[in-house]
Structure 1
Amino acid sequence: MPIYWRALDRASAYEILAHRAIWSLLACLLFLTYQKQLRETFALIKNRRTFSLLALTSLLLSLNWGIYIWSVSVDRVVEAALGYYITPLVAVTFGVGVLKEHLRKYQLISVILATIGVVILTVAYGRLPWIAIGLAVSWGSYSLIKKHLNAGALQTLSIETLVAIIPNATYLIYLLSKNEAEFGQDVGFSLALVSAGLFTVVPLLMFNAATTRLPLTITGLLQYITPTIMFLVGIFVFNEELKVSKLLGFVFIWSALAFLGTDLVKSSRSANQGRN
């Protein structure tokens, strides 16, 4: 995805975000129609509690998407990768602070290591890595709320993008009225912006299909693939600088994730043994 967003850098991050949301909604509606899930989706909209929660997750999702797209436009893909690396650790922290869950030994070690890593990176950057923190907190909060919703990912994404349709459409209409929109300037680039919907929804459907076929441990570990690709793209494709001090911070983050992955495997095995 970083390479795709970089290819669209003729447009501003805000215009790309608006197109991503609008065309994702259209893609969701097409897939919902094909899967005959429109009735269930409308039922979610009619449920006041569910719709209120999805309005909140819509805001968090827009914030997450916006930070991510902007990070690519300002050459901070490695910092964005850090955000998605620490997202599972933020989820663990939320579990303790909000859901009153108890940390297991490996989880505690991972949180300590991650905290050290973030401190090292803060010193290395000379500032808080706010892009990483913004991505991790927005996605962690988004995931926390979604845990309380009994609905499919495609259905909820369609409602979230529907909630955001008014501000996004208004912004695009404003750009078009001022002749400042990149959309419509040429066919190829316009189609690339429209394709943002498919690039968002298709991976979601593929991941959901994988979760029904793969063990929990595998799907849990799959979440580290995206930030790893982002990290490698940032370093080797976009030639972003990685000083030794920053690399040291990432080593602590990766060590934390290793402990978290080990905890996931151990807890999954214990659960399976309990069933047997």
Structure 2
Amino acid sequence: MTDDHRRGVVAATLAFVIWGLAPLYFKAVAAVPASQIVAHRVLWSVLFLALLLVLRRQWPAVRAAFADRRLLATLFVTAMLTGGNWLVFVWAVTHDRVLEGSLGYFINPLLSVLLGRLFLGERLRPWQRVAVAIAVAGVLWRVIAVGQVPFIALFLALTFGFYGLLRKRTPVDAISGLFVETVLVLPIALGWLLWQAHAGELFWGRDRAVEALLPLAGVLTATPLMLFAVGARRLPLATVGFLQYLAPSLNFLLAVFVFHETFDAPRLLGFVLIWIALAIYSVDLARAARPR
């Protein structure tokens, strides 16, 4: 393993570990309504990313993005997708639904394969078709056995899947793109916080310890993204594909063993089917990535 490859593994692993342990942070600020947490996440992300852009001297890319109307429209759509994804994920964590959230991020890689087939004309290899079919069976089993559609999981998988689909075609780097996205939704976030303050519902002056944690939302948003970008540039796609399961796996372990959410046999079987599908997908991905 070369030094460059080792740095890539370390960076990507840290990114997925941070994403995987993020529920601990959101549990710590659970006294704050989910909508206000997301608004703070937008606000502090803009400030933190602006500092990073100054240090990395990437303002030309930001100016170019704001000058391109078509790119700006795409980034507004991706900003709404990530905003919705953040809101539902934070709500799920603060309402003891981390397990269902982890299911969504387990489904996401397989959904991305399907979206690539539907919208980009990418062909599904035979084993990819098998993996997608088993994943669909896992979701259907969950609906039949548990008696409810996993709306949280499906929403998280769909929003993140479409986000990845759009960003794949967006000619802007990760940090500059995220900064533009957050700037575009900043007026909404600030407007919501001001409205909550006007209505007397703003969580401020109630718990100084919790309020002191809110600025960390920006760091938790940008840091893993930067680490992921470092890893993705240095690692084969198959390696990144394997490592990405760290985040939902950590979410799953936190939900079951730390937060003690309900996890019975029907839910277990649904997860097992998704895990089998992911195993097939990962092996197929690794085989396809081998040099011929």
Q: After TM superposition, is the score higher than 0.5? A: yes
Aligned pair 1:7/2:32, yes or no? no
**TM superposition shift of 1:184:** 4.2
**1:67–1:135 contact (8 Å) kept in structure 2:** yes
2:71 corresponds to: 50
Compute the RMSD of aligned alpha carbons: 1.1
CA distance in 1, matches of 2:76, 2:25: 28
* Partner residue, 1:26: 47
Q: Could you tell me the TM-score, scaled by structure 2's length? A: 0.90
C-alpha contact (below 8 Å) 2:92/2:152 kept by paired residues: yes
Structure 1 Cα separation of the partners of residues 178 and 27 of structure 2: 24
> Equivalent of 1:243, from 264, 284, 292?
264
Give the C-alpha shift of residue 188 in structure 1. Answer: 2.7
Q: How many residues align?
A: 271
Using the alignment, how far apart are the partners of 1:213 and 1:107 within structure 2? 25
Alignment of 1:179-198 (within 5 A): 179-198=200-219
Which residue of the partner structure matches residue 156 of structure 1? Answer: 177
Which of 231, 251, 255 aligns to 2:252? It is 231
Q: Does 1:255 align with 2:276?
A: yes
1:212, CA displacement in angstroms? 2.1
Question: How far apart, in 1, do the equivalents of 2:224 and 2:181 lie?
Answer: 17
1:262 shift after superposition = 0.9
Deviations for 1:59-88, whole angstroms, at most 9, x for unmatched residues? 101010011001111111000000000001
* One-letter amino acid of the structure 2 residue matched with residue 244 of structure 1: A
CA distance in 2, matches of 1:183, 1:198: 20
Consecutive unaligned residues in structure 2, runs of 5 or more: 1-21
Instruction: State the TM-score, normalized to the length of structure 1.
Output: 0.95
Could you tell me how far apart the structure 1 residues matched to 2:288 and 2:205 are? 52
Change (3 A) 1:184 1:152: farther
Alignment match of 2:196 (pick from 168, 171, 175):
175
How much does 1:5 deviate? Answer: 0.3
The percentage of aligned residue pairs carrying the same residue is: 37
1:261 maps to a residue whose letter is S
| Runs of 4+ displaced beyond 6 Å | none
Q: Which structure would you say has the larger RCO, counting Cα contacts within 8 Å and 6 or more residues apart?
A: 2
